[in-house]
Amino acid sequence: MPDNGASQAKTAPGATNGTAAETGRQRVRMLISALGMLPVLLILCIGFHVLSEGRFFTGQNLGIVLQQAAVNTVLAAGMTFVILTGGIDLSVGSILAASAMAGLTLSQLPEFGALWLPVSVLTGLGFGVINGALIALLRLPPFIVTLGSLTAVRGLARLLGADTTVFNPAIPYAFIGNGSLTLIPGVASIPWLSVIALLVILVSWLVLRRTVLGVHIYAVGGNESAARLAGIKVWAVLIFVYGVSGLLAGLGGAMQAARLYAANGLQLGQSYELDAITAVILGGTSFVGGIGSIWGTLVGALIIAVLSNGLILVGVSDIWQYVIKGLVIIGAVALDRYRLQGSART
Amino acid sequence: MNDPILEMRGVSKSFFGIKALRAVDLTVYAGEIHALMGENGAGKSTLMKILSGAYRPDPGGEIRIEGQSVRIEGPLGGRAAGISIIYQELSLAPNLTVAENIYLGREISSSGLLARGAMREGVGPILQRLGADFSPSTLVAHLSMGQRQLVEIARALHARSKILIMDEPTTALSAGESERLFALIRQLRAEGLAIIYISHRMDEVYALGDRVTVLRDGRLVGSLDKADIRADTIVRLMVGRDVSSFYKKEHDPDGGRGHPVLAAIDMADGQRVKGCSLTVHAGEVVGLAGLIGAGRTELALLIIGAGTRTSGRVEVEGHEVNIRTPGEALEAGLAYLTEDRKALGLFLDMSCLDNINLAVLGHDAKLGCILDRDKARDRANKAFTSLNIRAANVGVSAGGLSGGNQQKVLLSRLLAIAPKVLILDEPTRGVDVGAKSEIYSIIDNLAKSGTAILVISSDLPEIIGICDRVIVMRAGRIAGEVARGPNSPLTQEGIMALATGMEHLDA
């Protein structure tokens, strides 16, 4: 449901005329749909804490979880925009790699080194806008377009570093990859990567919920033909969402580059698109578009990070981690179906 | 007459406490064409779905077929009981052949392989009997709508159905195809089938019906024998009150017709619209009538920039405006209410609030892009009050509302831009009688305040009831205009003559 939460709470008291039981039931359903997968996340955390004999809820481990979730959260935020319009972006992993390669290559030049960060982000934006233009103006299916750019941009990423790993141990702004923002000196700090991820979520929420563009994104995903007849520039909305997805993939590339001081066009960001899509779907955003929220995406990304971290803590082998994560994806889609059934209309 | 083939006694159906069907008694005999009439929402489709097994009736009623009490359950239940339904939107798979469609779900196979030959031979005689001019191995995608209907009928006969229910079967057919269908229906009657024929069109009921049953608000309000079938009787039964007071038309611009607000000149799209011009004045309600497929909706879409225009121009208040998209039409003050509100109008998952405000969000926004949520809520609450929209609050999603309330939500979105011209395409389709009357008063009030209104409708009594004059389209062209004069009321006959091209025969 696109408009719940805050706006629901603000409903004028005089506007209601349904029976008390009906509004009560409606409120419970609203709550369930707003909370979404948050209970699952909490249960996972507590479960891993118990199974790992108290090693999950430690300051150090939570910092690791937040840091590991950061890049995927940023990618998934962009993916949320795209999936809300009923589309898909399979190319974010490749765009992340190409952006990181472009940034790192530039950072090696002494006179332009400081520009590497914006160049990374803009490289991502460029690829995203190309995706969007192909989809919006040539009316090609998003799956096909981004499947194509998944391969093509991966090739470009390899080309940028002549198919080698590019290092720069003295990369400017390295603090965003490995530093922490100190909240209380000596007691609490939060990794810069996580700060960036939370800011991205916050800005995404503002755009989706507080701007005209946000309503238009939901409208295009809910009913594209109706959106066109209602005077919405559907093509502009589509270019915007794929542009955002590309831009955030570029930002993700910069975050990875700063963290690793290196990038490899072949390996970096492989299959990151799948983690991003999983986070969005886990967060309750409908695959057909029009329904979903950015907070759900944050919860989804945290679930994935907690799963990876927890399974390692508990000592599950790398191989079984794959199996379990795969089953979680299928379970999430099953849940999506169930949720849609729950809101069946006449 | 012989014993009835189908008897329904006291059949009711309620959904969440709302009675869709109240103790309906219906008797149908073999070898008769039984016309079933009623407004949208009167309970026709509920009745049909009970007979097909899609709905289970409330306990207490009884259905007898050939004297035997039966329970029709599940989608195959109707067919098993000898009842076949041909829906408005046909249920054929276009990628399969005629024979495969007829045998769908009951394919003949030998040792696990499909016996295509046997299936072709099996349907041959039936197609011949129906006078089909295509072979069993033709792909359904290659058939015309009339031919597809024949396949549906063949499927029913092949399943040895004794009762055939047809839901507005001529909607998608040309005049010639309709005639052939009527001949076929009469042939089936002669062969002893019982046919329940659902239609809105009086001429078809005259031509075919042996008896007419009228439903209103889920009740059976009357059954007429052939001799008693008269249009005014049926309309009175369907509407349940005197028709003249049903349509709200207090405003009469004749004293001083306003200035021309919308002028569309020589509009054409190279396909369905072939050079149409029309003018609508301030405070005037103009009807756009014509048969289905005459190009009325296409013309409207062309005017608001949603179609590809090959020629023509649009003037608003005397100034030419270049409208290339529906967005530009809204900016010019032209609002269009679609005939298909679920597919092309509403965002069913979004709140009424967002649906109502969608067209003015950009205009209301702070700093050009930040939503003004108080303004939006205010506007939605006002629309709820002034249009009497019934929902728990403005935050509920539009998909959960009834047809009439959905239509009013969609109308509120258009009214929010304070349009100079309002084009309403089938404004009361799928709307209950109460909401219909309310929509007529809204139209009347808008005209009073000077809005120029163009109403596209296939419902002739409606168009006559609410319009000042009626423009009639035929085959993509303006066929003529019927005006309301002091001594010459608008008549259905005058409009139909233009719509069908019969006016030359009178002269």
- pLDDT digits 0-9 by tens, B137-157: 999 988 888 888 889 889 888
Nearest-angstrom CA–CA distance, A302 and A37: 10
| Residue B165, strand partner residues | B85, B196
Nearest-angstrom CA–CA distance, B258 and B3: 63
Give the closest of B344, B351, B362 to A2, CB-based. B351
SS3 B489: coil
Q: Which tokens is A130 given? A: 């190309």
Q: Residue B426: its pLDDT value, please?
A: 92
List, in order, residues 6 or more apart from B13 with CB less than 8 Å away: B19, B20, B21, B46, B50, B55, B57, B58
Q: Residue A345: its pLDDT value, please?
A: 36
Whether residue B92 is predicted with pLDDT greater than 50 in this model: the reply is yes
Nearest-angstrom CA–CA distance, B217 and A158: 70
Give the closest of A213, A227, A345 to B400, CB-based. A345
Contact criterion met (CB < 8 Å) for A10 and B377: yes
Residues in chain A closer than 8 A to B361 (CB atoms): 212, 215-216
Output the DSSP codes for A193-218: HHHHHHHHHHHHHHHHHHBHHHHHHH
- Between CA B229 and CA B237, with CA B231 as vertex, the angle to 5 degrees is 85
Give the closest of B326, B393, B399 to A15, CB-based. B393
- pLDDT digits 0-9 by tens, A47-64: 999 999 999 998 889 989
Contact criterion met (CB < 8 Å) for A222 and B373: no
A23 vs B: CB within 8 A:
yes
- Min mean pLDDT across A97-111, B9-23, B232-246, B430-444 is at B232-246
Torsion of CA B401, B348, A215, A227, to 10 degrees: -120
Compute the nearest-CA separation of A217 from chain B (Å).
12
SS3 B262: strand
Burial label, B220 (beta-carbon count in 10 A; 0-12, 13-18, 19+): buried
List, in order, residues 6 or more apart from B374 with CB less than 8 Å away: none
Residues in chain B closer than 8 A to A231 (CB atoms): 325-331, 359
Compute the nearest-CA separation of A231 from chain B (Å).
3
DSSP state of B71: -
Q: Which tokens is B51 given? A: 């007979």
Closest CA to B232 of B250, B208, B220, B214: B214
Output the DSSP codes for B107-139: --EETTEE-HHHHHHHHHHHHHHTT-SS-TTSB
- Min mean pLDDT across A254-268, A282-296, B11-25, B257-271 is at B11-25
Closest CA to B453 of B421, B479, B500, B430: B421
* Contacts with B, A 305-344, CB within 8 Å: 343
Q: Residue A28: its pLDDT value, please?
A: 67
Whether residue A22 is predicted with pLDDT greater than 60 in this model: the reply is no
Q: Residue A339: its pLDDT value, please?
A: 61
What HEC string does B320-355 produce? Answer: EECCCCHHHHHHCCEEEECCCHHHHHCCCCCEHHHH
Whether residue A286 is predicted with pLDDT greater than 70 in this model: the reply is yes
Whether residue A346 is predicted with pLDDT greater than 60 in this model: the reply is no
B interface mutation test: which of A215, A229, A237, A240 has the most B CBs within 10 A?
A229
Residues in chain A closer than 8 A to B336 (CB atoms): 229
Whether residue A118 is predicted with pLDDT greater than 90 in this model: the reply is yes
Residues in chain B closer than 8 A to A26 (CB atoms): 392, 396
Asked if B155 and B126 touch (Cβ cutoff 8 Å), the reply is no
Output B217 or A190, whichever has higher pLDDT: A190
Own/partner contacts of B42-47, CB < 8 Å, gap of 24 or more, are: B42/B215, B42/B216, B42/B217, B42/B218, B42/B238, B43/B215, B43/B217, B43/B218, B43/B219, B44/B167, B44/B198, B44/B215, B45/B167, B46/B13, B46/B20, B46/B21, B46/B218, B47/B8, B47/B11, B47/B21, B47/B215
Q: Residue B160: its pLDDT value, please?
A: 86
Asked if B250 and B465 touch (Cβ cutoff 8 Å), the reply is no
Q: Which tokens is B253 given? A: 């611009």
Beta-strand relationship, B62-65 and B68-69: antiparallel
Q: Residues B465-475: what's their mean pLDDT?
A: 91
Nearest-angstrom CA–CA distance, B484 and B464: 9
Residues in chain A closer than 8 A to B406 (CB atoms): none
Whether residue B242 is predicted with pLDDT greater than 60 in this model: the reply is no
Give the closest of B329, B347, B381 to A223, CB-based. B347
Contact criterion met (CB < 8 Å) for A225 and B397: no
Whether residue A6 is predicted with pLDDT greater than 50 in this model: the reply is no
* Contacts with A, B 359-418, CB within 8 Å: 359, 361-362, 365, 369-371, 373, 377, 381, 384, 392-397, 399-400, 413
Q: Side-chain half-sphere of B497: how many Cα atoms within 13 Å?
A: 13
Burial label, B241 (beta-carbon count in 10 A; 0-12, 13-18, 19+): exposed
- State percent of chain A over pLDDT 70: 86
Q: Residues A317-346: what's their mean pLDDT?
A: 71
- State percent of chain B over pLDDT 70: 93
Asked if B100 and B119 touch (Cβ cutoff 8 Å), the reply is yes
Contact criterion met (CB < 8 Å) for B343 and A210: no
Contact criterion met (CB < 8 Å) for A213 and B325: no
Q: Which ranges of B272-421 would DSSP assign to H, the alpha helix?
A: 296-303, 326-331, 352-357, 361-364, 373-386, 403-416
Residue type, A115: L
Residue type, B464: I
Q: Residue A60: its pLDDT value, please?
A: 86
Closest CA to A297 of A330, A322, A275, A323: A275
Residues in chain A closer than 8 A to B400 (CB atoms): 345-346
Distances, alpha carbon A150 to alpha carbons A94, A271, A315, A328, in Å: 6, 10, 33, 24
Q: Residue B506: its pLDDT value, please?
A: 42
Whether residue A246 is predicted with pLDDT greater than 90 in this model: the reply is yes
DSSP state of B31: T
- pLDDT digits 0-9 by tens, B42-82: 788 888 888 888 888 888 889 999 888 888 887 778 888 88
Q: Residue A15: its pLDDT value, please?
A: 38
B141 vs A: CB within 8 A:
no
- pLDDT digits 0-9 by tens, A247-266: 999 999 999 999 999 999 99
DSSP state of B198: E
Q: Which residue of B has its CA nearest to A9?
A: B395
Size of interface A-B (CB pairs under 8 A): 121
User: Could you tell me the pLDDT band of residue A124, with boundaries at 50, 70 and 90?
Assistant: very high
Whether residue A44 is predicted with pLDDT greater than 70 in this model: the reply is yes
User: Could you tell me the pLDDT band of residue A23, with boundaries at 50, 70 and 90?
Assistant: low
Asked if B389 and B382 touch (Cβ cutoff 8 Å), the reply is no
Contact criterion met (CB < 8 Å) for A233 and B325: yes
Q: Residues A61-76: what's their mean pLDDT?
A: 94
Q: Residues B7-29: what's their mean pLDDT?
A: 86
B344 vs A: CB within 8 A:
yes
Residues in chain B closer than 8 A to A16 (CB atoms): 392-393
Q: Which tokens is B470 given? A: 């009626």
Compute the nearest-CA separation of B211 from chain A (Å).
32
List, in order, residues 6 or more apart from B61 with CB less than 8 Å away: B8, B9, B10, B11, B12, B23, B24
Mean pLDDT, all residues of chain B = 86
Q: Residue A87: its pLDDT value, please?
A: 97
Q: Which residue of B has its CA nearest to A209?
A: B371
| Residue B62, strand partner residues | B9
Contact criterion met (CB < 8 Å) for A1 and B349: yes
Beta-strand relationship, B452-456 and B421-425: parallel
Give the closest of A10, A26, A211 to B371, CB-based. A211
Torsion of CA A96, A99, A104, A106, to 10 degrees: 180
B14 vs A: CB within 8 A:
no
The CB density around residue A155, as the number of other CB atoms within 10 Å, is: 14
